[in-house]
Amino acid sequence: MEINNLSTQLNGQIDGAKANEARAAQQVPEKTESGNLSDKVSISKEGIQSTEDQFARIELEKANSAAFSKLKQYKARIQEYDQARQVSPEAAKETELGKMLNDPAVWEKMAENMFR
């Protein structure tokens, strides 16, 4: 008798009853919702679900980041216009926001959007 075989024989004798019960439980086919027996392999949906959740969180973070960067840009434009307006009305007209306020095409587009 070899030493390598000795350990497996002992484990088989001690845990034999538990191992037989585990094998028997694995061999019982599952019932589906319709009541029929199936031989399907159970795939854990937890890994798939967590991956989808992680992907959704990343995409949400990207969208939030883009929205906040746009918001910062608009806030900077408004502050620039406000500071220039405090200096003089002519300086306010020279800012990006001031140019947009005096552009008839911008007013036309705003009117179109209001009537939609």
What is the reported pLDDT for 43?
59
Show the low-confidence residues of the chain (pLDDT under 50): 1, 9-10, 12, 14-15
Distance in angstroms (rounded) separating the CA atoms of residues 38 and 31: 6
What is the reported pLDDT for 57?
93
Q: Name the pTM for this structure.
A: 0.48
What is the reported pLDDT for 50?
81
Residues forming a β-bridge with 17: none
End-to-end Cα spacing for the chain? 90
